[in-house]
Amino acid sequence: MSASTQLVLLGVNHKTAPIELREQLAIPAHRLAEATSQLLARPGIREAMILSTCNRVEILTTQDTAADTVDFLNQYLAIDPQLLRPHVYEYREQEAVRHLFRVASSLDSMVVGEPQILGQVKESYTVARSVGAVHSQLEKLLQCAFATAKKVRTETQIGSSSVSIASVAVDLAQKIFGSLEGKTVFLVGAGKMSELAARHLMQQGAGSILVANRTHDRALRIAESFHGKAILFEDLYSVADQADIIITSTGAPHAIFRPEHGQRFLQRRRNRPMFFIDIAVPRDVDPRMNELEGIFVYDIDDLQSVTASHMAERSREAEHAESIVTAEVERFQQRLQTLDVVPAIVGIQQSAEEIRQAELLRAHSRLQTLTPAQLAAVEAVTRGMMNKFLHMPLQALKTAAREGDAAKVEAICAVFEGGACAAHSVEAEAAAVKGTEAEKAGESRSDHEQVVAGRIEPEAGA
Amino acid sequence: MFLLWLRVAAALYGLASLAALPAVLYGRKRWVKICVGAAIGGAFFHFVSLAEMLNASHHWIPAGMHEVQSLLALLIVLAFLLIALRYRTVSFGMFALPLALVLVLVPAIGPDKYTFTSPLIRNGWVMLHVAAVLAAYAGLIFSMLASLLYLLQERRIKSKRPASRLLPWLPPLETMDQIAHRTLLIGFHAMTIGLLSGCLIAQASMGSAYFHDPKVILSFGMWLLFVVLLIIRRSQGLRGRRAVYLSTLVFLVMISVWAANQFSSFHRFTTP
């Protein structure tokens, strides 16, 4: 960022603030545009974006150093500053870039690797852009954040495995049946987790659901909520073979599905596979059922150990993702610094070109005798000399910018700023002596050459 | 020239076989693209080589050991590509591509020493017979591979380690079962057509003596095993371990039928 503006990111998230406070701070989607506009209207704020999810509220701004963004939160949400302050984190410049990249890449999420956060950041960006709060600096930064998040997704396996019991159950069912289209789910007993698993399976396309419970009324209620069919608990064994996936969570003190049942089911199903998800404790499905070819049994411990191994895998992948983010932050900073010297490079080139044009103008009368081809050759030679002369200092300028060597950048710029002044003076001089170029040309050219070459101080040519 | 194209095809099959390892074992997407791309390229050059080979020898059916091997390899690669396209899985490439490479390597090294010299090779029925029997072999090989992979995936899910880093791209059990069943069915139809066309040719040209040939007898045995396999599959829903056993049995019979050329008076590849 330029010297007068700063990139600032402040906010609260699930690590720094309790849910009660996050609830107060959350800005609903329909108010996001208005909130962003109000933030932008505050003195000192040049660009702004607000990210508000259930786990975080963050404000990203490019602003004058004096601007106070926390004050905006206090006023806009009418929250006591004393209550808010201890929970707020604030990052500036490179640290803000790093934090944003980590958030977009889902490395700062409660469940590392969850895919929703990138969509939420993009949504906030769209809103901020629509109210005119995103210009060149935030635009560049956010595009880099999206590219980094994409890189993390494609180059690591951070989001490839499920980390909740319900989604692990769905994954397993898909490994067995492929598509869940048309598959029948049988919910035996009722419980929050089993209903959640059933809901996940239905969302993935499972065709129909059967429900059996010792209390038939409860079975009817659950079946109704899933648009399924309630089965009498007594009919459990005669109906079970119709189901491809059985989720069981009864309070029975002993196994209700045993190998002899499994064999009977397989016979009736012509060995088509069956998947038992046993969430009950004590278990409803005899573990020996898993030994039958075509029957797959996962109890709550199995599901939890799969979930834990997925979490461990994500942690390993997160380390790789962190190194990608670090590299991308560095690259962004380098790009930013290189971009910072672009105006200086353009200025130096313009100055040199002006000197060249002025010198050609000064020599105009002496060059009149040349043919068009010879004039073109003079033009090419002078331009070539100018480019060759500028090549090394400009390369040095770019390298110094990339390496963050501010002193070197300033030194090179200072030398050429003199050159630029000299060029302007040459122009004025050339206009003044238009009639007597021949007499003064040699002396003047010699001076300008020295200025450009840095052998004399700019003042000498002015 | 056909040798050059065949060598290019062999090199591409080699690349595809190597690419299949990281693609299947570790699910690397870039390697999947390389594997499928190299297999498509290989199949193209293989087809060009086979067409040139047959054109150069002025017949349109494979009439030598090398030509037969080359055609079988091409059918296997085409089956692999069709399965990759239809079921979005390259798992079969791990076995099918090296097999195609091995089959193609010998013909790619030099000219054929063993050629079938009978004038019958110009007969269109023989062409149908050879192509159908080779398609049946390819179908059976894929059915067995699908059964093997089914068993592997089944064991993995039962071991409660479904997220193993090895073979993350193994297709779901039902997909594998469908592939095993469909390729077996295609193989069975091809075998039936191959046997019927063979019978017609033999009856017309050599009479009943032909049916005492060991290769013919084994081929009928293989066809019967195909029927048994299909019946059991349909009635019992044969899957997993038992499916692998039965497919392996039919595969062994297939190898015997292939090897029976050495004892067959009619199918022998005679030295020119």
Q: List, for residues A338-349, the tens digit of each pLDDT value.
A: 666 777 888 888
Contact A177/B173, CB-based, under 8 Å? yes
**Is A54 an annotated catalytic residue?**
yes
User: Can you tell me the distance from the alpha carbon of A231 to that of A2, in angstroms, rounded to the nearest whole number?
Assistant: 70
pLDDT over threshold 70, residue B117: no
Backbone φ and ψ for A451, nearest 5 degrees, come out as -65, -50
Residue of B nearest to A298 (CA): B160
- Number of A–B residue contacts, CB under 8 Å: 54
Could you say which of B160, B235, B239 has the minimum Cβ distance to residue A294?
B239
Q: What percent of chain B has pLDDT over 90?
A: 10
How far is CA A340 from each of CA A34, A61, A394, A414, rounded to the nearest angstrom? Answer: 33, 19, 13, 15
A287: left (phi over 0), alpha (psi -120 to 50) or beta: alpha
Of A271, A302, A313, the CB nearest to B237: A271
Q: Which amino acid is located at A403 in the chain? A: E
Lookup result for tokens 């090199």: B11
Q: Is the pLDDT of residue A455 over 60?
A: no
- How big is the CA angle at A11 (ends A9 and A13), to the nearest 5 degrees? 130
Q: Which residue has the tokens 């009635």?
A: B235
**Whole-number Å distance between alpha carbons of A298 and A176:** 13
Tell me what pLDDT residue B209 has. Answer: 66
Rounded to whole angstroms, how far apart are CA atoms A141 and B226?
64
Interchain CB distance below 8 Å, B175 and A293: no
| Nearest-CB residue to B175 (from A178, A294, A296) | A178
Q: Is B263 helix (H, G, I), strand (E, B) or coil?
A: coil
More confident: B272 or B91: B91
| Res B246: pLDDT | 81
pLDDT (tens digit, 9 = 90+) per residue, A35-68? 899 888 888 888 999 998 888 889 999 888 667 7
CA distance A315 to A125: 28
pLDDT single digits (tens) A405-442: 778 888 888 887 654 433 333 343 333 334 334 333 44
Residue B123 has pLDDT above 50, yes or no: yes
Q: Do A178 and B235 lie within an 8 Å CB cutoff?
A: no
Q: What's the average model confidence in pLDDT over B43-66?
A: 77
Residue A316 distance to chain B (closest CA, Å): 13
Q: Do A270 and B160 touch (CB under 8 A)?
A: no
The mean pLDDT value for A373-396 works out to: 90
Query: Once rounded to an integer, what is the mean pLDDT over residues A256-282?
Result: 91
pLDDT at B120: 56
Considering only A7-16, A453-462, B93-102, which range has the smallest mean pLDDT?
Answer: A453-462
Q: Do B163 and A313 touch (CB under 8 A)?
A: yes
Which chain A residue lies closest to B174 (C-alpha atoms)?
Answer: A177
Quick one: pLDDT at residue A377?
92
Query: In angstroms, rounded to a whole number, what is the distance separating the alpha carbons of residues B137 and B258?
Result: 10
pLDDT band at B78 (very low <50, low <70, confident <90, very high): very high
**Would you say residue B44 has pLDDT above 50?**
yes
Q: Do A271 and B172 touch (CB under 8 A)?
A: no
Contacts of A199 (CB under 8 A, 6+ apart): A166, A226
Long-range contacts of A202-207 (CB under 8 A, 24+ apart): A202/A226, A204/A170, A204/A173, A204/A174, A204/A180, A205/A179, A205/A180, A205/A181, A206/A180, A206/A181, A206/A245, A207/A180, A207/A181, A207/A182, A207/A183
Torsion B246-B248-B249-B250 (CA) sign = positive
pLDDT, tens only, A119-147: 899 999 999 999 998 888 889 899 999 99
Which residues in chain B have Cβ-Cβ distances shorter than 8 Å to A274?
A: none
pLDDT value, residue A264: 94
Query: How near does any CA of chain B get to the CA of A230, in Å?
Result: 28
Residue A235 is predicted with a pLDDT of 92
Residue type, A318: A
Over pLDDT 70: what percentage of chain A?
Answer: 87
Mean pLDDT, rounded, of chain A: 82
Interface test with A, best of B86, B154, B160 (most A CBs within 10 A): B160
Half-sphere exposure of A97 toward its Cβ, with a 13 Å CA cutoff? 25
pLDDT digits (tens, 9 = 90+) for A287-300: 999 999 889 999 98
What sign does the dihedral A339-A344-A348-A351 (CA atoms) show?
positive
Contacts of A278 in chain B (CB under 8 A): none
